[in-house]
Structures are given as structure tokens and as C-alpha cells.
Amino acid sequence: MSEANGEKITKPDKINLTLKVWRQAGPNKKGRLETHEAKGISTDMSFLEMLDVVNEGLTLEGKEPIAFDHDCREGICGTCGAVVNGLAHGPERETTLCQLHMRHFKDGDTLVIEPWRARPFKVIKDLAVDRSAFDKIIEAGGYVSVNTGGAPEANTIPVPPETAELAMDAAACIGCGACVAACPNASAMLFVGAKISHMALLPQGKPEAARRALSMLRKMDELGFGNCGNEAECEAVCPKNITITNIARFNREFLKASLCSKEK
Ligand code: SF4
Ligand code: FES
């Protein structure tokens, strides 16, 4: 229950929605928006649970359920994601689709649900997209030098707390791809900026920093991601609050690497 102008407003426990969902049988098939009614949806459900209910109905009718990506359903793994009414991961800030609850929608709402749209992310089926391009960028980042032998005593590598905090903030990126989906250029700079920052800030990541920055940027370009246009749409939709200062750090790392590295 909430209050507006002194009047008590009771929010319904259940809502009815009209969904316009992107249906596409395969990567090279033509897609279209298909209308489905989602009736009696509990406002305590998550967005994915709502899709589960719709899919149960479709299955009972002998129809093909809506394919969508998911795994942990706890906002940790980065597997889920769809564009809801034009917003990657839907209308709530710093929230993954699996953690978006139906209480944020109103009875009678129409929701247009589409997959991430970016050239390097091919639609596999309906809302499920292939984000293996991110894995290829991570792979291009390569290894971190680690001396063999027993684990060193933690205090032998001092890291200022502010630096550790910044590295931890960058490490929060779950690789969901919402930043790419929201960017008009389909740039992966926020994602790569987070990964580069995470490693470049810590002493353990410094020996290979130059090679890593050059290699990840090269791979990003090769896979067809666009360049950053400073729109900051990526930051606005990021469920883990990764800020564009990570892109600035990535640019600095890249510049340093270009000037100092023997690698071409
Ligand atoms: S930077 Fe944010 S939006 Fe982009 S992949 Fe990482 S968590 Fe997702
Ligand atoms: S399913 Fe893991 S973050 Fe949403």
C-alpha cells in the first residue's frame, strides 16, 4: 500500500499484461513481434518467472515456448537479458532482468520484449543471443604472470584500499552485454574497460597490461563492435553500476601501450 495526496493506494497483487515478444526461429530466420496475454501475474514474480508462466500456457496449448537466456536468476551470472520497452534489462536501474520484479509494472501495461540487438550478438532464437564474442575478447586478454610455488603472504603485495575498491568495482561486471545493446554504436568499451581496469589497477595485472590492452582492443574491433561515442547509454543500463571512468582508464592504458609497447 502507498499514499498519494493523503489517499491510500492499494497496489494489486496480480496484474494482466499484453506482451509483444520477438519471435525468431533461428539465427538466419526472419523475426517478428508476437502478441501474448500474460494474465493473473503475481507482482511478487520476477520478469523471468512471468515468462515461465507464459511459457507454461504456450506449452499446454501445444505451442513453442519463448526461448530466453537465464541461469542463476540472482543477478550474478550475466546470462539473462532482454530489451523491455526500449530499455536493456527493463526500467529499474542497476537491476538485471532476472531481478526485475513485476511490481514495477501496472495492470494493463503493454510490454515490448526484444533480444539484445548488436551485430556481434547474433540471435540464436527468440530472446536468446550468442554472446560468445565477449568470451573471445576475454581470451584475447590472455594470462596473468603468477610465480609458481606456495601462495605469497597477502601483505607482501601492498595495495592501497582506494585502488582495491576501484578494482573490485570494475570486477563487478557480469558480462551481460546490456552496455552493447544500449549503445548506438554497439560498442563493447564499457565491458572491456571494466575488464582492463580490474587487471591494470592491481599489481598482479601490471606485467602484461600493455599486451592485454592492445590485444583486447584489436579483438573487439575484429569482432565488429563499434567505437565509443561518449553517449553514456552503457552506464545508464549497466546492472552493476560500471561507470564510464573505466572507459577513460582503458583509453589511457591503450595510449600508454601504443607508445611504449614493442608489440604492433
Ligand atoms: S559493463 Fe555492465 S552492462 Fe556491460 S557487460 Fe558488464 S555488467 Fe553488463
Ligand atoms: S540469470 Fe544470472 S544474472 Fe540473470
Per-residue pLDDT reduced to its tens digit, 91-132: 999 999 999 999 999 999 999 999 999 999 999 999 999 999
3-state helix, strand, coil in the chain (%, to 5): 40, 20, 45
Q: Output the pLDDT for position 260.
A: 82
pLDDT tens by residue, 133-165: 999 999 999 988 877 788 778 788 889 999 999
Parallel, antiparallel, or unpaired for β 2-4 and 122-125? unpaired
Say if ligand 2 is within 6 A of residue 79 CB.
yes
Say which ligand is closest to the CA of 192: 1
Residue pair 192/217 in contact (Cβ under 8 Å)? The answer is: yes
Residue pair 121/129 in contact (Cβ under 8 Å)? The answer is: yes
Q: Output the pLDDT for position 143.
A: 85
Q: Output the pLDDT for position 152.
A: 78
Say which ligand is closest to the CA of 76: 2
Residue pair 27/122 in contact (Cβ under 8 Å)? The answer is: yes
**Residue with CA nearest ligand 1 atom 5:** 175
Residue pair 206/174 in contact (Cβ under 8 Å)? The answer is: no
Say if ligand 2 is within 6 A of residue 13 CB.
no
Q: Output the pLDDT for position 146.
A: 75
Say if ligand 1 is within 6 A of residue 238 CB.
yes
Residues of the chain with pLDDT under 50: none
Q: Output the pLDDT for position 2.
A: 53
Query: Which atom of ligand 1 is the closest one to the Cα of 175?
Result: 5
Question: Starting at the edge strand that comes first in sequence, how are the strands of the sheet with 87-88 ordered?
Answer: 32-42, 14-23, 110-114, 83-84, 87-88
Residue pair 149/218 in contact (Cβ under 8 Å)? The answer is: no
pTM of the full predicted structure?
A: 0.92
Say which ligand is closest to the CA of 80: 2
